[in-house]
Structure 1
Amino acid sequence: MTQIPKQHVLTEAVNDLLGDNELPAAVTLEECAAALAMSTTSFRRKLGQEGTSFKLIHQKFLNELCVTVLSTQQVKIDDLATRLGYSERATFERAFKQKFGLSPSQFRNLAAIGKDKDGAQELKVIAQSIPPMSDSCRALMQAKSQDKLDIDQVLSIVQKDPIFCGRIMGQASKAIYGKTPIDLKEAILRNLGISTVVNFAVIFGMQDALSEQVSPKLIKKYSDAFLMAPTLFKLIRRSIESKVDFDTALVEQVLVFGLLGLFLLTHKHSSQQENVLHSLRGIDDLYLLNNHIKQSTQSSIYLVSALMLSQWHIDANVIKWLSDIDKLNDSTYEHNGEQSIVLFMLSCLYRLAAGHEIDESVVEKAHSLGIYDIEQIFVILTG
């Protein structure tokens, strides 16, 4: 995946100004424009050309400041509350607890747990304890690797597994896939597609393998969102105005499997389980969540997902894609068209899984990518 030089120069300049200010919450659009020797009209217009606004940059900066300071710095809670624009500590603590489900000091303590350990090694040990994939999943993966994955072979494999067969029929019967299929063959050929059935086998396999180690409620919510990935991808491809040359089969796998690492991070044997669970509740931005997890575990969502997939010998190209995604740095590079859209779709899947609503930042980002009906897409997926 090729990286191209970053173009969001003004966005970075605004973030630098906010970072240099002792009271970033109090900084206004007018003050920022003046500091950059620009009129407010020109300032707004140029930020719009970068697909953002001062309001969105400001809010994202404050959200990241809050989580980063609590995770990595010993700043007093009172001082942090002031920097974030709260008149008193108690008000900040109430707002934080409502969002994260615990107090700022409790969140700080959770983030510190296990920092003296090798987080990546701990996760590797947990991943090695994941049971082998089911017989049907293994048979599908083997047929795929041997390039023998035709409809007759898939039917033969799926029909031998009544539970998996029922799950495939259940997925194919959802409104987002169109007309209810009359049989398994129609469900696979018309509604889902062979490659999607194989990808779903992995999700169902992980769901079963981790059913006693991960919260059943969480694994159900997140699995349901991951299973929406093919439909989200299809709707985005129809919507996007610019022509992007996707490797469709590979990107679908990246979307379906890209956030599987969250299951390992919330595993009952992970020292970061409670930290991650509260972070999923309080952080709606996937980029910020991933940075927080990096600070806490010395790993990332994408690398942990790749680790899980490697245990089941899933396509090495998917694992490489996830490793490449992890190397992308918003502050250094602008992603190419395919990368930007894939990262955006992963952020949408995270919001769907965690139950975070679509907000102005999602709409603005979608518009910057040439996607102008993201709200309607969310309605279709959640309807």
Structure 2
Amino acid sequence: MHFVYTKQWGRLDFRVWISLIMVAVVTLALLGYKVATNVSCPEFELKTTSNINHISEGPHTYFVNEQVRFFATRNDASLMVTWNFGDKSATQIGASVTHSFIKEGNYLVTAIINGRCSESINIRVIQNSTLISTSNSPQINRIVSDDVVATGDKAVFNTTAESANYNWSVQELPEMGQQATKAATFIFTKAGTFTVILKLDQGTSYQKIIQVTDPLGPADNTTSSIPLPPGPAEVGPPPLPVEAPEKKPEEAKQEAPKPASQEPAPAAAKVYDQLPEPAIQAMLEEVAEGKKTIADFNNILCNGAGTKVMANNQSTSFAALCNELKEKKGLPLLKRKKRIQSFKVVRDPANGNCVKIIYITYK
């Protein structure tokens, strides 16, 4: 009788039990939807290569302006990989790309596959210089400076090496003297190639070759090394002119030029609509809503409904893609339209810049 009048069960009001049951049902439904629509990331690892052997510099260490090739261990051309090199340069797209860094430093290079799976690698960039030591073995140079400087400007040379004493000098210009600080400053007054030398404790020394340019250009007071032609006294009398033979009347006659045959004009190439990628993606989203059809893309795609499509890393056609987007996905009570996650097109410049391949991921 107590349960009937108070509407309680287990010392809890029945409305609390109803709320708990509803929360449990919604949680199970969301968990089921997540499991049904989950797409796992492909396993891949970032690697780098170049044409220079960098064993002595350490892993992932390269020189300034060196061409470095980045690729994923799963080198699949169907994957859409976007590369961010961490140096404020433009991103690149491709399973394998090359890039060069213009400044020293440490850069975090990130690869994003299919717009959602990411992996990063740390790259160290140093100057390309040569160390001269007592053992004459090449090592990492510790001199940091610009490779090209102008006459009259202050050229600052620094070092990453630690020592009790520092001695800087320019091999070709001893009149510039020596400097005993960790950072040295030289002002070059003439153009050319010069060798900057840094000597440290225990006989260790470094050298770096720099190029000094003259912004005003070379002087005009140089004499030409090209020999002059002989003077009049060395040249004999000019030869007598030779009379040209008279032409016969038959030879004087010239045939009238024949008119060039006119070739038929080539057929006019088809003009395609040059819509940007966001506009084409918006049209595909309207296909999923039933507002657009395949015929609306005839003036964009090279092969119409048969245009090649890489959808979720699977090769298909544009017609099959439209049919797939129209179908709703999910549990019976929670069906919804498919959502596009990434979209990219490849155009054919030889055929009116029409779209010949579409890369798309959706779920």
Q: TM-score, normalised by structure 2?
A: 0.19
- Report which of the two structures shows the higher radius of gyration computed on alpha carbons: 2
Higher relative contact order (CA 8 A, sep 6+): 1
Tell me which protein shows more strand as a share of its residues. 2
Q: TM-score, normalised by structure 1?
A: 0.18
Tell me which protein shows more helix as a share of its residues. 1
